[in-house]
Chains A and B, each alone.
Chain A
Amino acid sequence: MSESATTEVDRHEYDVLVMGAGGAGLRAAIAAHEEGARTAIICKSLLGKAHTVMAEGGIAAAMGNVYPDDNWQVHFRDTMRGGKMLNNWRMAQLHAQEAPARVWELEEWGALFDRTRDGLISQRDFGGHRYARLAHVGDRTGLEMIRTLQQRAVALGIDVFMECTITKLLVERTENGARVAGAFGYWRDTGRFIAFEAPAVVLATGGIGKSYKVTSNSWEYTGDGHALALEAGATLINMEFVQFHPTGMVWPPSVRGLLVTESVRGDGGVLRNSENRRFAFDYIPEFFKAETADSEDEADRWYDDKKGNRRPPELLPRDEVARAINAEVKAGRGSPHGGVFLDIASRRTPDYIRRRLPSMYHQFRELADVDITEEAMEVGPTCHYVMGGVEVDADTQMSVVPGLYAAGEVAGGMHGANRLGGNSLSDLLVFGRRAGLYAAQYAAGLSSAKPVVVDDQISAAGRAALAVFRAEGTENPYTLHQDLQQVMNDLVGIIRTAEELQRSLEEIEALKQRVGQLAVTGDRRFNPGWHLAMDLNNMLRVSECIAMAALERKESRGGHTRNDYPLADPEWGKINVVLREEDGKVTLYHQPLPPMPPELAALLEER
């Protein structure tokens, strides 16, 4: 098939279209299907391979199985404090209230969590959570979750379009405003085009990590949902907040960035510098002093007695720990390969380590020749998660564009300035379900007044997708991608300055110009070079949003640290930076946070 051989388009019609088959997408599709909607799932990879599979530690839910004192109020408080109070309070509330039911439901669908001695779902400690709260399966909780949801979706007979990429949301624009009408994309194996007519689209496309050089994210994380939503008229919030997970592998180079689960610290591992010092004690911020141990003895006692002792500083929220590691390495006290040491070998028995952390044991042994039951790991920060995303209604997950929903990492607001570990998997379940449910109800409510797909939009999207074949270009998409990753790594990383952010925007602009010169080899059949060339548009747009929002927010908070504004500013703590696209150009404005009801605000004051 030559590149111009066909512009034919396969056409399909559904009530609810779900983009993405990770935790949020699968849960949304199940909810939409159960609500009676004709539902389809579209995913870029094979079913069951989405990034959720890599989640290790667990699902945060205040079930109180290990500590009966735990409840949604405490979980809500931990989430808000971890997010530096910038979270959408209503999302944080719904999340804390509904997470336990979503976990129990997984069990009804076949999930097998590790158990307590009483036979209940076991719960483990994690950073920023007051009580042991994470339902888990060893350190492969994401796999258990995705397999359970996948098997449930298959059992329900939901249509799945695998290895299919959406490049454009179809939008109906009338004098009454814009609303979603469907989506356009291509089959990865044949390159053939496909168009869906659907009045409700749920974005569940995950994050943006592939714009960074050192990342724990898979190739799919190219910010598709963020970019397509923006283009369709939706708004993005909190884009300046990017989470660098404190512990990624640093050696060998080919696995740099690969995640080392927080469970290592939750289960007793500690961080040390080249002088063998537990340096986390030197980095306890004022905000968390009252609840953090100030001696090694107290920290070590906490694992067995949480009432009488305070948490080890290694279990501060991720932003704090990542900054501490960054500072130690910069001060010249790092490990041989530019990280710090994460030591569980000297603190727990080999048997315990292998049982609690089997995939970490496996990963280090096979990829780094390190036996974690005998020696310390070398770890350093890695781009892991974007707190920012599509601005949605807290209850329904609908964006400002009618019919367009977002759930999971692609949605913004839930995690504020920093996400706590374990809150992502629960976020996927709670808001995936809500998005699917309300999308189905919205589609049903339209009856005959369904949006109309304009064929011109489809043919324009087809021409755009094929442009890189016709261009007499000189740019290689792989090279352009690497150059973008370097820019984001060097100029929009953990520690930021106005000068560097400004420079990043200039660099991104230059990269955009080079996109016009892209050329791909081969034809449309399973051609990763072509796929990357199209993904690059999304990565560049999202990178621009991150850099713009980061330049705008003149303070340091959570996953956004400005060297030129090192402190949190209470005035900025009342504001979201919102991005939107007008005439192909991204602009931003300030928006006050929604006011929190006093009874919830009171919870935050409690010790």
Chain B
Amino acid sequence: MSYQAHFQVWRGDVDGGALQDFEIEVNEGEVVLDVIHRLAATQAGDLAVRWNCKAGKCGSCSAEINGLPRLMCMTRMSTFAATETVTVTPLRTFPVVKDLVTDVSFNYEKAKAIPAFQPRPKDPDGVYRMAQADVERSQEFRKCIECFLCQTVCHVIRDHEENKPAFAGPRYFIRLAELDMHPLDVNDRKSLAQEQAGLGYCNITKCCTEVCPEHIKITDNGIIPLKERVIDTKYDPLVWLGNKIRRR
């Protein structure tokens, strides 16, 4: 069942690099990350790669495989023909550190900019009551494993470094949606979503939804409802009037 596969792996650093060719053994049931590990163990001991759980739960081993953003641990070798060249490159949207490892600090900075969760007071007996149906909406977004595949695929920042300061990306839109739909949260982040997170840049091409390994409906269930809520607030004449009066 074993065979020799042809791999091309990008190796280099911030100053440049190139695809390097490898012939490497592949066994039944293996995933791309197994093969990368075998490369490190047998041919390239200093090959830089991030990984943790190897089970699709931590979102560490993101890379671009034959040009598609994927988790290496969830990409089975059986999806490629034995004769096919498998090309593994680092996430394109973030600066390379070394080989397959990129500097993803952009995402952590964006996370910091979102105002924290702020719950309403508890019920008189000291607990919170929420209906399952109400928690499920936000739970979908809390499935996010922060692999940042949605961030790397998003065309707003993929090849547009200049948009990064004004755009938080799909991961943080669903974080905003999650908080907005959270049954307990009382913070209003709608104007932040529009004015600082750059929600308006998204023209719902759904690339993010397609690459999400958790199958979160990022666009349909997160971004579009968030856009609708923002618009409701911004253009609702009563809200507009209320804001106007309160400001005085």
Contact = CB atoms under 8 A, between A and B. Distances in A.
Interface in B44-83: 44-60, 74, 76
B27 to A, nearest CB: 7
Contact of B45 (A51, A107, A120, A520): A520
Contacts of B101: 189, 526
B40 interface: yes
A140 interface: yes
A177 interface: no
Contacts of A174: none
Nearest to A137: B139
Contacts of A53: 52-53, 57-58, 145
Interface stretch (B122-130, B160-168, B204-212, B221-229): B122-130
Contacts of A110: 117, 119, 179, 182, 184-185
Given A110-B182, A478-B41, A255 B46 contact: no
Nearest to B60: A49
Interface stretch (A246-254, A265-273, A421-429, A574-582): A246-254
A108 to B, nearest CB: 6
A379 interface: no
A448 interface: no
Contact of A218 (B53, B76, B103, B119): B53
Interface string B18-62: 000000000111110010000011101111111111111111100
A253 B130 contact: no
Contact of A363 (B44, B56, B128): B56
A104 B139 CA distance: 17
Nearest to A252: B29
Interface in A326-375: 359, 362-363, 366-368
A456 interface: no
Given A255-B29, A259-B55, A521-B46, A147 B142 contact: yes
Given A140-B143, A525-B13, A528-B40, A46 B60 contact: yes
A112 B182 contact: yes
- B interface: dominant SS: loop
Contacts of A363: 55-56
B24 to A, nearest CB: 14
A526 B143 contact: no
Contacts of A476: 41, 45
B192 interface: no
A219 B51 contact: yes
Q: Which of B46, B50, B97, B116 has the most CB of A within 10 A?
A: B46
Chain A, interface residues (CB within 8 Å), range? 35 or more
A521 B27 CA distance: 26
B55 A526 contact: no
A48 interface: yes
A457 interface: no
B53 A51 contact: yes
Contact of B98 (A155, A189, A478): A189
B248 interface: no
Contacts of B119: 107-108, 110
A143 interface: yes
Chain B, interface residues (CB within 8 Å), range? 35 or more
Interface stretch (B104-112, B151-159, B193-201, B239-247): B104-112
A479 interface: yes
A490 interface: no
Nearest to B115: A155
Contacts of B27: 253-254
A47 interface: yes
Given A366-B74, A478-B41, A522-B45, A359 B57 contact: yes
A30 to B, nearest CB: 13
Q: Which of B50, B55, B98, B119 has the most CB of A within 10 A?
A: B55
B238 interface: no
Contact of A522 (B29, B46, B108, B143): B46
Interface in A128-149: 137-138, 140, 142-144, 147
Given A45-B60, A104-B127, A479 B41 contact: yes
Contact of A112 (B99, B104, B142): B142
Contacts of B97: 189, 525-526
A154 interface: yes
Interface of A: 45-51, 53-54, 104, 107-110, 112-115, 118-120, 137-138, 140, 142-144, 147, 151-152, 154-155, 162, 189, 218-220, 251-255, 258-259, 359, 362-363, 366-368, 476-479, 482, 520-523, 525-530
22 contacts: A45-B60, A48-B146, A49-B60, A107-B184, A110-B182, A113-B135, A114-B132, A140-B57, A143-B57, A143-B145, A147-B142, A218-B53, A219-B52, A253-B29, A255-B55, A258-B54, A476-B41, A477-B45, A521-B44, A525-B97, A526-B99, A529-B45
